[in-house]
Amino acid sequence: MDEAGVSMSEFKKIYLQGQEFASGIAVDYAPSVLVAKEKRESKQKLAANAKVGKRFPSALVLNQSDARPWQLQHWMKSDGRFHVMLFAGDILASKQKERIEKCAEALRKLLERYQRPGKALNSAIQILIVHSSPRQALENGIFDFPEVLRGPCDPKMGWDYNRIFVDEASYHEGGGKAYEAYGVNKESGCLVVCRPDQYVGWIGELEDVEDLGEWFEGFLVVPQTGGGDANEKEMVVRNGDNDVDDVTGGKVKDLKGMPLDQASGLAV
């Protein structure tokens, strides 16, 4: 208490709550086709502080390749893609590495299902990895991960070194507390999926990719051949009889009757 009898800890708590409201990140979406809340309540504990229905918080992580510190949310571009955050845990443990490899293969099939023709495998859904093993303990760096997680070698741009990160303290800017901040187990990890508007839509274990695919099927359809160019396909967000063009930036057919939490970030 201060001299006036005001609790400073309580004052700070209320101040931070008001700050979230003022910045707009206090929004908490109710369960819907885009917010797997009630059906997966038991999975929330896998990432206790990345609440389903709320904006995905950022944390400082290090690039696996060059040790440069980044706010993780920097790489969650608002480009219409869904973001699969793969918290890989301790990949130096043989059992965990085996889990990662199986998860990666399942994710590869999922990405291929929604891949736009002529575009990169991650054109509709991108994967970002944060592991908890010591960065320098990975003998081959990003090449210790399956190709679907690190990306193929582009003939012009080379390897993509901005997909794999580590929860480790930087030389000068702190860090090393991302798993703690998200409430994720450092050994086993988990999957956290964010919508294009960076709100958490789904949480699951590494073995739950099939369930993740069923969630996507609730509102995404496999790309179909569009008119005019046989090589171009569209991916749409489905909501009953209303189809909202996503990713390709085509004409929005109808938004009437669509709940705001389903349209947010997807109809842009």
Q: Where are the alpha helices (DSSP H) in the chain?
A: 8-23, 94-114, 147-150, 178-182, 209-217, 260-263
pLDDT higher than 60, residue 64: yes
- Give the mean pLDDT of 187-198: 96
CB-based contact 156:164 (threshold 8 Å)? no
Given CA atoms 162, 166, 169, 171 in this order, what sign does their dihedral have?
negative
Distance CA 266, CA 130 (A): 26
The β-bridge partners of 89 are: 131
Higher pLDDT, 55 or 22: 55
pLDDT score recorded for residue 248: 41
Distance CA 162, CA 122 (A): 13
% of the chain residues with pLDDT over 70: 83
pLDDT score recorded for residue 244: 45
SS3 content of the chain, % helix, strand, coil (to 5): 30, 20, 50
CA atoms lying within 13 Å on the CB side of residue 4:
4
The DSSP output letter for 45 is: G
- Rounded to the nearest 10 degrees, the angle between the axes of helix 209-217 and helix 94-114 is 20
C-alpha of 44 from chain center: 15
7-16, 79-88, 183-192: least confidently modelled range: 7-16
Distance CA 209, CA 198 (A): 20
The DSSP output letter for 71 is: E
* 158 token code pair: 């080379």
**Beta strand ranges found along 18-167 (DSSP E):** 60-63, 69-71, 82-89, 125-131, 164-166
The β-bridge partners of 191 are: 86, 204
First to last CA, the chain: 48
161-174: per-residue pLDDT in tens?
Answer: 999 999 999 999 99
Dihedral pair phi/psi, residue 35, rounded to 5°: -130, 100
Confidence band for 199, pLDDT divided at 50, 70 and 90:
very high
Distance CA 136, CA 24 (A): 39
Nearest Cα neighbor of 89 from 185, 209, 204, 206 is 185
pLDDT score recorded for residue 1: 64
pLDDT score recorded for residue 260: 40
pLDDT higher than 60, residue 267: no
225-265: per-residue pLDDT in tens?
Answer: 543 333 444 444 554 444 444 444 444 344 344 444 444 44
- Give the mean pLDDT of 118-146: 95
Question: What domains sit in the chain, N to C, each tagged with a CATH number?
Answer: 26-206 (3.40.30.20)
Number of neighbouring beta carbons within 10 Å of residue 13: 11
- Give the mean pLDDT of 16-29: 84
